[in-house]
Structure 1
Amino acid sequence: MFERLIMKIAVIGGTGLIGSQVVRNLTAAGHEAVPHSLSTGVNVITGDGVDDAVAGADVVVNLTNSPTFDDASPAFFQTSMDNLMTASAKAGVGHFVILSIVGVDQVPDLVYYRAKVLQENVLRAGTIPFSIVRVTQFMEFIDAAMSWTSDEKSVRLPRTPIQPIAAADVAVAVSKVAAGAPLNGIRNIAGPEVFTLDDLGRITLKAKGDSRSVVPDDTAGMFAAVPGDVIIAPADADIAPTRYADWLATT
Protein backbone atom coordinates (compact mmCIF):
# COMPACT_ATOMS: atom_id res chain seq x y z
CA MET A 1 0.00 0.00 0.00
CA PHE A 2 2.93 2.34 0.70
CA GLU A 3 6.36 2.89 -0.81
CA ARG A 4 9.08 0.67 0.67
CA LEU A 5 11.50 3.46 1.56
CA ILE A 6 11.53 3.65 5.36
CA MET A 7 11.11 7.20 6.63
CA LYS A 8 10.77 9.08 9.88
CA ILE A 9 7.41 10.83 9.80
CA ALA A 10 6.33 13.38 12.39
CA VAL A 11 2.54 13.38 12.70
CA ILE A 12 1.46 16.64 14.30
CA GLY A 13 -1.99 16.12 15.78
CA GLY A 14 -1.08 12.46 15.85
CA THR A 15 -3.32 11.48 18.76
CA GLY A 16 -6.63 12.63 17.20
CA LEU A 17 -9.27 10.88 15.12
CA ILE A 18 -7.27 10.90 11.87
CA GLY A 19 -3.77 11.26 13.27
CA SER A 20 -3.87 8.19 15.48
CA GLN A 21 -4.95 6.06 12.50
CA VAL A 22 -2.28 7.59 10.26
CA VAL A 23 0.37 6.71 12.85
CA ARG A 24 -0.90 3.11 12.99
CA ASN A 25 -0.99 2.79 9.19
CA LEU A 26 2.51 4.16 8.70
CA THR A 27 3.94 2.12 11.55
CA ALA A 28 2.37 -1.03 10.12
CA ALA A 29 4.05 -0.21 6.81
CA GLY A 30 7.44 -0.11 8.53
CA HIS A 31 7.91 3.65 8.86
CA GLU A 32 8.94 5.43 12.04
CA ALA A 33 5.75 7.42 12.61
CA VAL A 34 5.87 9.59 15.71
CA PRO A 35 2.67 11.21 17.09
CA HIS A 36 2.89 14.73 18.49
CA SER A 37 0.18 16.82 20.15
CA LEU A 38 -0.51 18.99 23.17
CA SER A 39 -0.56 15.81 25.25
CA THR A 40 3.02 15.02 24.20
CA GLY A 41 4.23 18.57 24.88
CA VAL A 42 3.93 20.08 21.40
CA ASN A 43 2.06 23.38 21.16
CA VAL A 44 1.81 24.64 17.58
CA ILE A 45 0.59 28.07 18.72
CA THR A 46 3.28 28.93 21.28
CA GLY A 47 5.88 26.90 19.40
CA ASP A 48 6.78 24.86 22.48
CA GLY A 49 8.20 21.48 21.48
CA VAL A 50 7.85 22.09 17.74
CA ASP A 51 11.58 22.13 16.93
CA ASP A 52 12.10 18.83 18.74
CA ALA A 53 9.03 17.28 17.11
CA VAL A 54 10.24 17.82 13.55
CA ALA A 55 13.97 17.27 14.18
CA GLY A 56 15.25 14.46 11.97
CA ALA A 57 11.92 13.97 10.23
CA ASP A 58 11.80 13.18 6.53
CA VAL A 59 8.11 14.08 6.41
CA VAL A 60 5.85 16.27 8.54
CA VAL A 61 2.10 15.57 8.46
CA ASN A 62 0.12 18.42 10.02
CA LEU A 63 -3.31 17.24 11.18
CA THR A 64 -3.90 19.90 13.81
CA ASN A 65 -7.17 21.78 13.63
CA SER A 66 -8.60 25.00 14.95
CA PRO A 67 -10.57 24.41 18.17
CA THR A 68 -13.37 26.61 16.78
CA PHE A 69 -14.98 27.28 13.38
CA ASP A 70 -15.37 31.00 14.08
CA ASP A 71 -13.34 34.18 13.52
CA ALA A 72 -10.49 32.79 15.62
CA SER A 73 -9.73 30.03 13.09
CA PRO A 74 -7.62 32.09 10.62
CA ALA A 75 -5.23 33.14 13.39
CA PHE A 76 -4.88 29.51 14.47
CA PHE A 77 -3.89 28.31 11.01
CA GLN A 78 -1.60 31.28 10.33
CA THR A 79 0.32 30.91 13.59
CA SER A 80 0.47 27.13 13.63
CA MET A 81 1.67 26.93 10.03
CA ASP A 82 4.24 29.68 10.54
CA ASN A 83 5.69 27.81 13.51
CA LEU A 84 5.65 24.40 11.85
CA MET A 85 6.98 25.59 8.50
CA THR A 86 9.82 27.57 10.08
CA ALA A 87 10.88 24.63 12.23
CA SER A 88 10.52 22.15 9.35
CA ALA A 89 12.61 24.26 6.98
CA LYS A 90 15.32 24.60 9.61
CA ALA A 91 15.25 20.83 10.17
CA GLY A 92 15.57 20.06 6.45
CA VAL A 93 12.21 18.30 6.18
CA GLY A 94 11.67 17.07 2.62
CA HIS A 95 7.87 16.80 2.48
CA PHE A 96 5.08 18.63 4.34
CA VAL A 97 1.51 17.26 4.20
CA ILE A 98 -1.74 18.89 5.30
CA LEU A 99 -5.35 17.75 5.34
CA SER A 100 -7.90 20.10 3.78
CA ILE A 101 -11.44 20.05 2.36
CA VAL A 102 -12.76 19.35 -1.13
CA GLY A 103 -14.04 22.59 -2.64
CA VAL A 104 -12.68 24.65 0.24
CA ASP A 105 -11.81 27.59 -2.00
CA GLN A 106 -15.38 27.74 -3.34
CA VAL A 107 -17.09 28.62 -0.04
CA PRO A 108 -16.07 32.20 0.74
CA ASP A 109 -18.99 32.81 3.10
CA LEU A 110 -17.60 30.41 5.72
CA VAL A 111 -14.77 31.84 7.80
CA TYR A 112 -13.48 28.37 8.68
CA TYR A 113 -13.20 27.47 4.99
CA ARG A 114 -11.38 30.75 4.34
CA ALA A 115 -9.04 29.83 7.18
CA LYS A 116 -8.28 26.45 5.57
CA VAL A 117 -7.54 28.22 2.27
CA LEU A 118 -5.13 30.41 4.22
CA GLN A 119 -3.44 27.28 5.56
CA GLU A 120 -3.06 25.92 2.02
CA ASN A 121 -1.62 29.22 0.82
CA VAL A 122 0.94 29.37 3.62
CA LEU A 123 2.08 25.88 2.64
CA ARG A 124 2.35 26.78 -1.05
CA ALA A 125 4.33 29.93 -0.27
CA GLY A 126 6.99 27.99 1.63
CA THR A 127 10.16 26.35 0.38
CA ILE A 128 9.33 22.77 1.40
CA PRO A 129 7.94 20.28 -1.14
CA PHE A 130 4.34 19.67 -0.15
CA SER A 131 1.11 17.76 -0.57
CA ILE A 132 -2.45 18.88 0.13
CA VAL A 133 -4.98 16.10 0.73
CA ARG A 134 -8.50 17.46 0.29
CA VAL A 135 -11.33 15.24 1.49
CA THR A 136 -15.10 15.44 1.65
CA GLN A 137 -17.11 15.63 4.90
CA PHE A 138 -16.36 12.98 7.53
CA MET A 139 -19.13 10.51 8.24
CA GLU A 140 -18.16 10.85 11.91
CA PHE A 141 -19.22 14.52 11.88
CA ILE A 142 -22.77 14.05 10.58
CA ASP A 143 -24.23 13.83 14.09
CA ALA A 144 -22.55 17.11 15.03
CA ALA A 145 -23.90 18.83 11.92
CA MET A 146 -27.38 17.62 12.81
CA SER A 147 -27.09 18.82 16.40
CA TRP A 148 -26.53 22.44 15.37
CA THR A 149 -30.14 22.90 14.25
CA SER A 150 -32.11 20.28 16.15
CA ASP A 151 -34.60 20.16 18.99
CA GLU A 152 -36.65 17.44 20.65
CA LYS A 153 -39.01 17.07 17.69
CA SER A 154 -37.10 17.83 14.50
CA VAL A 155 -33.79 18.44 12.79
CA ARG A 156 -33.55 21.28 10.28
CA LEU A 157 -31.03 20.62 7.52
CA PRO A 158 -30.25 22.25 4.17
CA ARG A 159 -30.43 20.30 0.92
CA THR A 160 -26.70 20.75 0.37
CA PRO A 161 -25.16 17.90 -1.67
CA ILE A 162 -22.39 16.15 0.27
CA GLN A 163 -20.31 13.04 -0.36
CA PRO A 164 -19.34 11.70 3.07
CA ILE A 165 -16.16 9.75 3.71
CA ALA A 166 -15.19 7.50 6.61
CA ALA A 167 -12.35 8.71 8.81
CA ALA A 168 -10.56 5.40 8.29
CA ASP A 169 -10.54 6.02 4.54
CA VAL A 170 -9.23 9.55 5.12
CA ALA A 171 -6.40 8.12 7.21
CA VAL A 172 -5.48 5.64 4.49
CA ALA A 173 -5.35 8.43 1.91
CA VAL A 174 -3.20 10.67 4.10
CA SER A 175 -0.89 7.77 4.91
CA LYS A 176 -0.37 6.95 1.22
CA VAL A 177 0.44 10.55 0.39
CA ALA A 178 2.79 10.91 3.36
CA ALA A 179 4.72 7.80 2.31
CA GLY A 180 4.99 8.93 -1.31
CA ALA A 181 6.72 11.65 -3.24
CA PRO A 182 5.50 15.23 -2.71
CA LEU A 183 2.63 16.17 -4.99
CA ASN A 184 3.38 19.89 -4.94
CA GLY A 185 -0.35 20.13 -5.48
CA ILE A 186 -3.69 18.67 -4.39
CA ARG A 187 -5.14 15.18 -4.19
CA ASN A 188 -8.92 15.03 -3.81
CA ILE A 189 -10.52 12.08 -1.99
CA ALA A 190 -14.27 11.48 -1.59
CA GLY A 191 -16.72 8.92 -0.34
CA PRO A 192 -18.55 6.73 -2.87
CA GLU A 193 -22.05 8.25 -2.56
CA VAL A 194 -23.67 11.66 -2.91
CA PHE A 195 -26.59 12.63 -0.67
CA THR A 196 -28.35 15.84 0.15
CA LEU A 197 -27.70 16.65 3.78
CA ASP A 198 -31.37 16.48 4.69
CA ASP A 199 -31.68 12.99 3.17
CA LEU A 200 -28.55 11.92 5.01
CA GLY A 201 -30.16 13.17 8.19
CA ARG A 202 -33.22 10.99 7.58
CA ILE A 203 -31.07 7.93 6.90
CA THR A 204 -29.08 8.57 10.07
CA LEU A 205 -32.08 9.09 12.32
CA LYS A 206 -33.79 5.95 11.00
CA ALA A 207 -30.68 3.85 11.56
CA LYS A 208 -30.45 5.09 15.14
CA GLY A 209 -34.14 4.54 15.87
CA ASP A 210 -34.63 8.27 16.36
CA SER A 211 -38.22 9.29 15.64
CA ARG A 212 -37.54 12.97 15.01
CA SER A 213 -38.37 14.35 11.59
CA VAL A 214 -36.01 16.14 9.23
CA VAL A 215 -37.24 19.49 7.94
CA PRO A 216 -35.52 20.82 4.79
CA ASP A 217 -34.25 24.33 5.57
CA ASP A 218 -31.75 25.89 3.21
CA THR A 219 -30.85 28.51 5.83
CA ALA A 220 -30.02 26.05 8.62
CA GLY A 221 -26.52 25.47 9.92
CA MET A 222 -23.04 25.94 8.54
CA PHE A 223 -23.62 24.01 5.31
CA ALA A 224 -26.36 26.43 4.27
CA ALA A 225 -23.53 28.71 3.16
CA VAL A 226 -22.24 26.16 0.63
CA PRO A 227 -23.21 27.09 -2.93
CA GLY A 228 -24.42 24.33 -5.25
CA ASP A 229 -22.40 21.12 -5.29
CA VAL A 230 -18.93 22.58 -4.75
CA ILE A 231 -18.03 20.27 -1.84
CA ILE A 232 -18.66 16.99 -3.68
CA ALA A 233 -15.95 15.16 -5.60
CA PRO A 234 -14.40 16.84 -8.62
CA ALA A 235 -13.72 14.73 -11.69
CA ASP A 236 -10.14 13.94 -10.66
CA ALA A 237 -11.00 12.66 -7.18
CA ASP A 238 -10.05 9.25 -5.85
CA ILE A 239 -13.14 7.46 -4.52
CA ALA A 240 -12.89 5.74 -1.14
CA PRO A 241 -14.65 2.39 -0.62
CA THR A 242 -16.76 2.76 2.53
CA ARG A 243 -20.48 3.31 1.97
CA TYR A 244 -22.47 5.28 4.53
CA ALA A 245 -24.89 2.46 5.39
CA ASP A 246 -21.97 0.10 6.00
CA TRP A 247 -20.28 2.67 8.22
CA LEU A 248 -23.50 3.28 10.16
CA ALA A 249 -23.82 -0.46 10.78
CA THR A 250 -20.48 -0.48 12.59
CA THR A 251 -21.10 2.55 14.83
Structure 2
Amino acid sequence: MKIVVIGGTGLIGSKVVAILEGQGHEAVAAAPKTGVNTLSGEGVKEVLAGADVVVDVSNSPSFEDSAVLDFFQTSTRTLLAAGAEAGVAHYVALSIVNCDRIPDSGYMRAKVAQEKLVSSADIPYSIVRATQFIEFVPGIVAAGADGDIVHLSPALIQPIAADDVAATVAEVSLGDPVNGVVEVGGPEQFRLDELGRDTLAAQGESKEVVTDPEARYFGARLDERSLVTADGARKGTTTVAQWRQRAGQRA
Protein backbone atom coordinates (compact mmCIF):
# COMPACT_ATOMS: atom_id res chain seq x y z
CA MET A 1 0.00 0.00 0.00
CA LYS A 2 1.29 3.47 -0.88
CA ILE A 3 0.70 5.99 1.89
CA VAL A 4 1.77 9.61 1.44
CA VAL A 5 2.46 11.39 4.72
CA ILE A 6 2.13 15.17 4.36
CA GLY A 7 4.41 16.72 6.97
CA GLY A 8 6.31 13.45 6.86
CA THR A 9 9.63 14.94 8.01
CA GLY A 10 8.22 16.50 11.20
CA LEU A 11 7.78 15.24 14.76
CA ILE A 12 4.71 13.09 14.12
CA GLY A 13 5.14 12.51 10.41
CA SER A 14 8.61 11.01 10.66
CA LYS A 15 7.37 8.57 13.29
CA VAL A 16 4.34 7.61 11.19
CA VAL A 17 6.58 6.96 8.17
CA ALA A 18 8.87 4.76 10.26
CA ILE A 19 5.96 2.72 11.62
CA LEU A 20 4.41 2.18 8.20
CA GLU A 21 7.72 1.27 6.58
CA GLY A 22 8.36 -1.16 9.41
CA GLN A 23 5.12 -2.90 8.48
CA GLY A 24 6.14 -3.24 4.85
CA HIS A 25 4.19 -0.36 3.32
CA GLU A 26 5.45 2.24 0.86
CA ALA A 27 5.38 5.32 3.08
CA VAL A 28 6.38 8.55 1.37
CA ALA A 29 7.43 11.55 3.45
CA ALA A 30 6.15 14.68 1.72
CA ALA A 31 7.19 18.15 2.87
CA PRO A 32 8.70 21.33 1.42
CA LYS A 33 12.17 19.93 2.02
CA THR A 34 11.27 16.93 -0.20
CA GLY A 35 9.87 19.15 -2.95
CA VAL A 36 6.20 19.02 -1.95
CA ASN A 37 4.53 22.33 -1.08
CA THR A 38 0.81 22.16 -0.33
CA LEU A 39 0.44 25.96 -0.37
CA SER A 40 1.87 26.48 -3.86
CA GLY A 41 0.86 23.03 -5.10
CA GLU A 42 4.43 22.19 -6.10
CA GLY A 43 4.96 18.43 -6.30
CA VAL A 44 1.55 17.53 -4.87
CA LYS A 45 0.06 15.77 -7.91
CA GLU A 46 3.30 13.94 -8.53
CA VAL A 47 3.67 12.58 -5.02
CA LEU A 48 0.01 11.50 -4.82
CA ALA A 49 0.15 9.51 -8.06
CA GLY A 50 -0.75 5.92 -7.21
CA ALA A 51 -1.38 6.70 -3.53
CA ASP A 52 -3.94 4.64 -1.63
CA VAL A 53 -3.95 6.82 1.48
CA VAL A 54 -3.04 10.41 2.31
CA VAL A 55 -2.09 11.23 5.90
CA ASP A 56 -1.95 14.94 6.71
CA VAL A 57 0.02 15.74 9.85
CA SER A 58 1.44 19.00 8.53
CA ASN A 59 1.48 22.22 10.52
CA SER A 60 1.47 25.90 9.77
CA PRO A 61 4.83 27.72 9.90
CA SER A 62 3.02 30.69 11.47
CA PHE A 63 0.47 30.58 14.31
CA GLU A 64 -0.85 34.10 13.64
CA ASP A 65 -4.62 33.85 13.28
CA SER A 66 -5.04 34.72 9.61
CA ALA A 67 -1.85 32.92 8.54
CA VAL A 68 -2.73 29.65 10.24
CA LEU A 69 -6.27 29.73 8.84
CA ASP A 70 -4.94 30.36 5.34
CA PHE A 71 -2.43 27.52 5.72
CA PHE A 72 -4.93 24.85 6.72
CA GLN A 73 -7.60 25.93 4.25
CA THR A 74 -5.26 26.29 1.27
CA SER A 75 -3.25 23.18 2.04
CA THR A 76 -6.31 21.02 2.64
CA ARG A 77 -8.07 22.18 -0.52
CA THR A 78 -4.94 21.46 -2.54
CA LEU A 79 -4.60 17.97 -1.09
CA LEU A 80 -8.27 17.08 -1.42
CA ALA A 81 -8.38 18.15 -5.08
CA ALA A 82 -5.20 16.27 -5.95
CA GLY A 83 -6.29 13.28 -3.89
CA ALA A 84 -9.62 13.03 -5.68
CA GLU A 85 -7.87 13.23 -9.05
CA ALA A 86 -5.44 10.50 -8.00
CA GLY A 87 -8.19 8.20 -6.74
CA VAL A 88 -7.05 8.23 -3.11
CA ALA A 89 -9.32 5.95 -1.07
CA HIS A 90 -8.68 7.27 2.45
CA TYR A 91 -7.78 10.74 3.74
CA VAL A 92 -6.49 10.91 7.31
CA ALA A 93 -6.06 14.27 9.06
CA LEU A 94 -4.53 14.91 12.48
CA SER A 95 -6.46 17.43 14.55
CA ILE A 96 -6.92 18.45 18.19
CA VAL A 97 -9.33 17.21 20.84
CA ASN A 98 -12.13 19.74 21.45
CA CYS A 99 -10.86 22.20 18.85
CA ASP A 100 -14.50 23.05 18.21
CA ARG A 101 -14.97 23.99 21.89
CA ILE A 102 -12.16 26.57 22.09
CA PRO A 103 -13.29 29.26 19.61
CA ASP A 104 -11.19 32.00 21.25
CA SER A 105 -8.09 30.39 19.76
CA GLY A 106 -7.29 31.25 16.15
CA TYR A 107 -5.34 28.01 15.81
CA MET A 108 -8.32 25.96 17.00
CA ARG A 109 -10.62 27.80 14.59
CA ALA A 110 -8.22 26.91 11.78
CA LYS A 111 -8.30 23.23 12.73
CA VAL A 112 -12.11 23.32 12.74
CA ALA A 113 -12.00 24.83 9.23
CA GLN A 114 -9.65 22.05 8.14
CA GLU A 115 -11.95 19.38 9.57
CA LYS A 116 -14.98 20.86 7.78
CA LEU A 117 -13.18 20.73 4.43
CA VAL A 118 -12.13 17.11 4.98
CA SER A 119 -15.54 15.94 6.17
CA SER A 120 -17.41 17.65 3.32
CA ALA A 121 -15.18 16.31 0.52
CA ASP A 122 -15.87 13.23 -1.58
CA ILE A 123 -12.90 11.20 -0.30
CA PRO A 124 -13.62 8.76 2.55
CA TYR A 125 -11.85 10.10 5.62
CA SER A 126 -10.79 9.70 9.21
CA ILE A 127 -9.98 12.59 11.55
CA VAL A 128 -7.69 11.75 14.46
CA ARG A 129 -8.08 14.23 17.29
CA ALA A 130 -5.25 14.08 19.82
CA THR A 131 -4.71 15.89 23.08
CA GLN A 132 -1.68 18.11 23.69
CA PHE A 133 1.68 16.41 23.20
CA ILE A 134 3.90 15.80 26.22
CA GLU A 135 6.71 17.25 24.11
CA PHE A 136 4.86 20.58 24.06
CA VAL A 137 4.07 20.82 27.79
CA PRO A 138 7.18 22.93 28.62
CA GLY A 139 6.10 25.41 25.95
CA ILE A 140 2.56 25.51 27.32
CA VAL A 141 3.93 26.27 30.77
CA ALA A 142 6.33 28.88 29.45
CA ALA A 143 3.48 30.65 27.66
CA GLY A 144 1.91 31.43 31.04
CA ALA A 145 5.05 33.04 32.46
CA ASP A 146 5.29 36.68 33.47
CA GLY A 147 8.81 37.03 34.76
CA ASP A 148 9.27 34.52 37.57
CA ILE A 149 5.52 33.99 38.01
CA VAL A 150 3.58 31.51 35.86
CA HIS A 151 -0.20 31.85 35.68
CA LEU A 152 -1.88 28.58 34.79
CA SER A 153 -5.49 27.42 34.72
CA PRO A 154 -6.61 24.57 36.99
CA ALA A 155 -8.34 22.98 33.97
CA LEU A 156 -7.64 19.32 33.29
CA ILE A 157 -5.02 18.33 30.72
CA GLN A 158 -4.31 14.86 29.31
CA PRO A 159 -0.90 14.99 27.60
CA ILE A 160 0.05 12.28 25.13
CA ALA A 161 3.47 11.25 23.85
CA ALA A 162 4.20 11.89 20.17
CA ASP A 163 5.04 8.19 19.79
CA ASP A 164 1.50 7.28 20.86
CA VAL A 165 -0.05 9.83 18.53
CA ALA A 166 1.97 8.49 15.62
CA ALA A 167 1.00 4.90 16.44
CA THR A 168 -2.69 5.85 16.43
CA VAL A 169 -2.42 7.78 13.16
CA ALA A 170 -0.60 4.87 11.51
CA GLU A 171 -3.18 2.36 12.75
CA VAL A 172 -6.09 4.49 11.55
CA SER A 173 -4.44 5.01 8.16
CA LEU A 174 -4.31 1.25 7.62
CA GLY A 175 -7.92 0.68 8.58
CA ASP A 176 -11.17 1.47 6.85
CA PRO A 177 -12.21 5.13 6.81
CA VAL A 178 -14.43 5.94 9.79
CA ASN A 179 -15.93 9.03 8.10
CA GLY A 180 -15.81 10.65 11.50
CA VAL A 181 -13.53 11.39 14.43
CA VAL A 182 -11.19 9.13 16.42
CA GLU A 183 -10.09 10.66 19.73
CA VAL A 184 -6.89 9.74 21.53
CA GLY A 185 -5.33 11.11 24.69
CA GLY A 186 -2.68 10.26 27.21
CA PRO A 187 -3.22 7.67 29.96
CA GLU A 188 -3.28 10.31 32.73
CA GLN A 189 -5.11 13.52 33.53
CA PHE A 190 -3.64 16.36 35.56
CA ARG A 191 -4.61 19.84 36.62
CA LEU A 192 -2.69 22.13 34.29
CA ASP A 193 -1.34 24.23 37.18
CA GLU A 194 -0.14 21.11 39.00
CA LEU A 195 1.50 19.72 35.87
CA GLY A 196 3.16 23.10 35.43
CA ARG A 197 4.72 22.87 38.88
CA ASP A 198 5.93 19.32 38.21
CA THR A 199 7.31 20.33 34.81
CA LEU A 200 9.27 23.25 36.21
CA ALA A 201 10.63 21.05 39.00
CA ALA A 202 11.71 18.44 36.46
CA GLN A 203 13.56 21.18 34.58
CA GLY A 204 15.20 22.45 37.76
CA GLU A 205 13.30 25.75 37.48
CA SER A 206 12.30 27.75 40.57
CA LYS A 207 9.51 29.84 39.06
CA GLU A 208 6.29 30.08 41.04
CA VAL A 209 3.06 28.75 39.52
CA VAL A 210 -0.07 30.67 40.44
CA THR A 211 -3.40 28.91 40.01
CA ASP A 212 -5.52 31.29 37.96
CA PRO A 213 -8.92 30.25 36.58
CA GLU A 214 -8.78 33.29 34.26
CA ALA A 215 -5.35 32.39 32.84
CA ARG A 216 -5.48 32.10 29.08
CA TYR A 217 -4.32 29.12 27.05
CA PHE A 218 -2.75 30.77 24.01
CA GLY A 219 -5.45 33.43 24.19
CA ALA A 220 -8.34 31.13 25.04
CA ARG A 221 -10.16 30.67 28.32
CA LEU A 222 -10.50 27.03 29.33
CA ASP A 223 -13.28 25.17 31.05
CA GLU A 224 -12.45 22.14 33.15
CA ARG A 225 -12.55 19.61 30.30
CA SER A 226 -11.41 21.68 27.32
CA LEU A 227 -8.14 19.74 27.00
CA VAL A 228 -9.25 16.17 27.75
CA THR A 229 -10.98 13.46 25.73
CA ALA A 230 -14.53 12.26 26.08
CA ASP A 231 -15.20 9.02 27.93
CA GLY A 232 -14.42 5.97 25.84
CA ALA A 233 -11.69 7.59 23.75
CA ARG A 234 -8.48 5.76 22.91
CA LYS A 235 -5.54 6.18 25.27
CA GLY A 236 -1.82 6.09 24.72
CA THR A 237 0.39 4.08 27.02
CA THR A 238 3.26 6.45 27.81
CA THR A 239 3.02 8.28 31.13
CA VAL A 240 4.60 11.67 31.72
CA ALA A 241 7.09 10.10 34.13
CA GLN A 242 8.09 7.49 31.55
CA TRP A 243 8.50 10.16 28.89
CA ARG A 244 10.67 12.28 31.17
CA GLN A 245 12.83 9.30 32.03
CA ARG A 246 13.40 8.55 28.35
CA ALA A 247 14.17 12.21 27.74
CA GLY A 248 16.69 12.25 30.58
CA GLN A 249 14.65 14.61 32.76
CA ARG A 250 13.94 14.33 36.44
CA ALA A 251 10.61 12.63 37.13
Q: Deviations over 1:16-73 (max 9, x none)?
A: 0000000000000111101010100111101111111111100000111122332221
Structure 2 distance, partners of 1:77, 1:222, is: 18
Equivalent residue number for residue 236 of structure 2: 240
**How far apart in 2 are the matches of 1:157 and 1:239?**
25
> 1:3: which partner in 2?
none
Greater mean deviation of Cα atoms: 149-158 or 32-41:
149-158
Corresponding residue for 1:4?
none
Matched with 1:227 is: 223
Runs of 4 or more, structure 1, over 3 Å off, are none
Quote the offset at 1:151 in angstroms. Answer: 4.8
Matched residues in 1 for 2:119 and 2:232: separation?
A: 20
Query: Which of 67, 70, 89 is residue 61 of structure 2 equivalent to?
Result: 67
Kept in 2: contact 1:158–1:224 (CA 8 A): no
Aligned-partner Cα distance in 2 for 1:73–1:223: 15
Q: How does 1:1-251 map to 2 (within 5 A)?
A: 7-71=1-65, 72-217=67-212, 218-222=214-218, 224-251=220-247
Inter-partner Cα distance in structure 2 for 1:223 and 1:166 = 24
Is contact 1:107–1:227 with CA below 8 Å preserved after alignment? no
> How far, CA to CA, are the matches of 2:147 and 2:57 in structure 1?
35
Q: Secondary structure, in 3 states, of the residue corresponding to 2:145?
A: coil
Letter in 1 for 2:54: V
For residues 53-100 of structure 1, the C-alpha deviation after alignment (integer angstroms, 9 at most, x for no partner) is 111100000111122332221111110011000000000000000001
Q: What is the deviation of 1:152?
A: 5.0
Corresponding pairs, count: 245
**Any conservation in 1 of the 2:200–2:207 contact (CA below 8 Å)?**
yes
8 Å CA contact retained: 1:81, 1:122: yes
Give the secondary structure class of the aligned counterpart of 1:123.
helix
Worse-superposed segment, 169-178 or 200-209: 200-209
* In structure 1, C-alpha distance between the alignment counterparts of 2:242 and 2:104, rounded to whole Å: 33
TM-score w.r.t. the length of structure 2 is 0.94
Q: For the residues of structure 2 that align with 1:11 and 1:120, how far apart are their CA atoms?
A: 17
Alignment-mate amino acid for residue 239 of structure 1: K
Give the RMSD, CA atoms, in angstroms. 1.3
Residue type matched to 1:80 in 2?
A: S
TM-superposition CA deviations, 1:132-176 (whole Å, max 9, x none): 000111000011112223255232222221100000000000000
Tell me, yes or no, if the aligned pair for 2:216 and 2:222 is still in contact at 8 Å: no
CA distance in 1, matches of 2:219, 2:137: 11
- Structure-1 separation of matches of 2:211 and 2:111: 28
Could you tell me which amino acid in structure 2 is paired with residue 150 of structure 1? A
Q: Distance in 2 between matches of 1:68 and 1:168?
A: 24
CA distance in 1, matches of 2:168, 2:103: 26
Deviates more, 1:94-103 or 1:153-162: 153-162
Give the CA deviation at 1:224.
4.6
